[in-house]
Amino acid sequence: MDVVKVGFMKLGNIGTSIIASLLLDERAEREDIDVRALGTGAKMSPECALDTALLLDWGPDVVIVSSPNAA
């Protein structure tokens, strides 16, 4: 069985953002997916952008982005 890597990029501060990464594997029992989440915190500074790029180094199959600013 192949393991699907799912990344969550949390940009900014959204109160429900913690729920997003738990929806797929709340109890960490699934063996067919691996979930990682990275976020910027409330400020979304350029320095935070460098840290969030680490998610791409992990090589996810899909990345889900959540942000309070849809623009």
Q: What value does the mean pLDDT take over residues 37-51?
A: 79
- Closest listed residue to residue 7, CA positions, set 52, 46, 42: 52
What pLDDT was estimated at residue 5? 94
Is the per-residue pLDDT at 30 higher than 90?
no
Say how far apart CA 3 and CA 9 lie, in whole Å: 19
pLDDT above 70 as % of the chain: 90
- Mean pLDDT calculated for residue range 19-25: 74
pLDDT category of residue 57 using cuts at 50, 70 and 90: very high
Average pLDDT over residues 30-44: 83
